[in-house]
Amino acid sequence: MSIPFPSDAWIKAMMEDLNASESYLEAAKNWEGDFHFVVHPGGTLEKTVVLYMDLWHGKCRDAYEVAEPGGSKPVFVLAGPVAVWKKVMTKKLDPMQAMMTGQLKLTGNMAIVMKNVRAAKELVESCTRIDTEFPL
């Protein structure tokens, strides 16, 4: 059954997928840093939704939809319109190209990212495996 994106159920499904992924475990074994995935409105999504993931050495320790955005500051923030998220998650747009062209904006410690590009790629790969219902 498709899970609505973005939602608490969706990010928890992604946590489950990541924690079952041998390739993510391998790729992200040195990764330390939590994430906010910020999804800006589009289609029937009327307000910005923020999803949280606590990523630690190849595992996701926690994931949820943030009830009050702005209350916490994660190490990394990846933000973009829901239409761009959909393109990436349906493999219509390469995630690296999305970030390099500013369609998805990544902020945080870029030295960590540049040393762990494979982990970032595997993270996005996980998104593509979730059976997702988009608001557009």
Partner 1 sequence: MWFFNSPQVVYGEGALAFLETLEGQRACIISDANLVKLGMVERIRTALEPSGMDVQVFHDVEPDPSLETVRKGAEFLLQHNPQWIIAVGGGSVLDAAKGMWVLYERPDMDPSGINPIETLHLRQKARFVAIPTTTGTGSEATWAIVLTDSAERRKLGLGSRETMPDIAILDPELVAALPPRLTADTGLDALTHAVEGYTSSFHNDFCDGLCLQAARLIFEYLPQAVADGSDLEARTHTQNAATIAGLGFGNSMAALAHGMGHALGGIFHVPHGRAVALFLPYTIEFTARGEPETLRYQELAQFLGLPAANQAESAASLVKAIRELAGSLGQPLTLADCGIARADLEREMDLLVQNAMGDTQTIMSVRIPDDEEMKRLFLAAYDGTPVQF
C-beta neighbour count of 111 within 10 angstroms: 8
Supply the minimum distance, in Å, between the C-beta of residue 94 and partner 1: 7
Supply the minimum distance, in Å, between the C-beta of residue 23 and partner 1: 7
Question: Looking at beta carbons only, is 77 or 130 nearer to partner 1?
Answer: 77
Residue 99: which region, alpha, beta or left (left: phi > 0; alpha: psi -120 to 50)? Answer: alpha
Would you tell me which residues interact with partner 1 (CB under 8 A)?
Answer: 23, 26-27, 94, 96-97, 99-103, 105-107, 109-111, 113-118, 121
Question: Looking at beta carbons only, is 4 or 40 nearer to partner 1?
Answer: 40
Cα separation, 91 vs 104, in Å, equals 14
Question: Looking at beta carbons only, is 9 or 117 nearer to partner 1?
Answer: 117
Identify the three-state secondary structure at position 36.
strand
The whole-angstrom distance between residue 42's C-alpha and the CA centroid of its chain comes to: 17
